[in-house]
Amino acid sequence: MNFPYKRVVVTGLGALTPLGNTIPQYWDSLVNGVSGADFIKQFDVTKFKTKFACELKNFHAEDYFDRKEARKLDRFSQVALVAAAEAVESSGLLSAGLNRDRVGVIWGSGIGGMITFIEEMKNFNSGDGTPRFNPFFIPKLILDIAPGQISMKYGFRGPNFATVSACASSTNAIIDALNYVRLGKADAIVCGGSEAVVTEAGIGGFNAIKALSERNSDPKSASRPFDLNRDGFVLGEGAGALVVEDYEHAKRRGANILAEIAGGGLSADAYHLTAPHPEGLGAYNVMMAALDDAGMKPEDIDYINVHGTSTPLGDISEIAAIQKVFGDHAYKLNISSTKSMTGHLLGAAGAVEAIASILATINDTIPPTINHFTDDPSFDPRLNFTFHEAQKRTVRAALSNTFGFGGHNASVIFKKFEE
């Protein structure tokens, strides 16, 4: 790698997911093939086409925030703060002598404070038309409030902003963090993403564009990436956080380095509002860009955590792109979609899947793609989709793909840390 860049490493992780509320819980559920899907408990689903989602389990805001503080935070900011807290604590970043002017927060969300917006509109419509709005309505709603809240909690005064690119949002945040650190603009950045849109509008809106599975008879097996009978994704909620740090800075403070970020790529399909390019052109371009940015060859990758949403067209286009990028090496890869277990966390998907990719390199274990029942002849049977059970193998490097409505594509590569 001949770039005049600083090495960038990961020193902390945090996760609040439908599979568990901490990193150990999340990873244990992933490797054991646990489904996070169940019937929705947050609102009455009687009249909805889809009645299930991957909701958080046993998450209660009052366990983390006092009542006054919780009322000032939309659920997407609450989960952001919880995941960030685990990442910051595990990183040991808050040591004596930390220059907080050089620590930033870059955070992704596809939609932001949807729950707050719905509540305020309900309150307005139930009144006499007099505009009575909560003074925290706008601060709770806006997407950039999550990184703002994290920075205020820890006094991090470095770069601070939100990334918005639909389901690629938090991968964009990680790539931006990578670039700020390797260019010397910050010593460390807390990055990731959060989403909390398991709501009437979230389910109803995605139902309206026929994006969601309607397999109400068996929610736990509804997310079926690469299965012949897949019928859409399962909506999820939660947050994932990483502490991304300059290697020399981490080394000086004796940090426990978990992985190295090798590179990232960005592209656009420039094709359709919601559908992927049928030949996977944007997906091909973004993976090639990530490899080029990392100074790596296709054969250096051992595992791809695919976008793999369980939609009829999306799964096909992504695999077509993978085969074009990797050629014969595609048959030596492990491929898996952890969305088969977590559901689709939209703007938080990239972060929680990046964490799965990092943990795969640390533990030399590939989490499975669950819920496979019927082979789809669209896919080459020689490809290893890691169906049913986790697989052990040496994982030198993992690539994580995320693609969003509007044709936004982001890929990031993590590799096993070596001095």
**Residue entry with tokens 């806006």:** 142
* Per-residue pLDDT reduced to its tens digit, 168-179: 999 999 999 999
DSSP 222-254: ---TTBTT---B-BB-EEEEEEEEEHHHHHHTT
* Per-residue pLDDT reduced to its tens digit, 68-100: 999 999 999 999 999 999 999 999 999 878 999
* Confidence (pLDDT) at 394: 98
User: CA–CA separation, 344 vs 334, rounded Å?
Assistant: 20
Instruction: Name residues whose C-beta falls within 8 Å of residue 180's C-beta, 6 or more positions apart in sequence.
Output: 104, 106, 158, 159, 186, 189
As given in the structure block, the two tokens for residue 208 are: 């309206």
* Confidence (pLDDT) at 223: 98
For the chain, what percent of residues have pLDDT higher than 70?
99
Segment 135-163 shows an average pLDDT of: 97
DSSP structure class, residue 338: T
Query: Given a cut of 50, is residue 1 above it in pLDDT?
Result: no
Q: Identify the burial level of 252 via C-beta atoms within 10 angstroms of its C-beta, where 0-12 means exposed, 13-18 middle and 19 or more buried.
A: exposed
As given in the structure block, the two tokens for residue 37 are: 């899907």
Residue 149: CA count within 13 A, CB half-sphere: 27
Query: Given a cut of 70, is residue 2 above it in pLDDT?
Result: no
Contact of 85 with 14, CB cutoff 8 Å: yes
* Confidence (pLDDT) at 321: 97
Segment 256-284 shows an average pLDDT of: 94
Segment 20-38 shows an average pLDDT of: 98
* Confidence (pLDDT) at 3: 56
As given in the structure block, the two tokens for residue 225 are: 């990436």
DSSP structure class, residue 199: S
Contact of 371 with 26, CB cutoff 8 Å: no
As given in the structure block, the two tokens for residue 36 are: 């996070």
Sign of the CA dihedral with 269 first, then 333, 11, and 13 last: positive
The catalytic residue positions are 167, 307, 344
Segment 311-319 shows an average pLDDT of: 95
Beta strand 408-415 with 397-404 is antiparallel
Residue 277: CA count within 13 A, CB half-sphere: 19
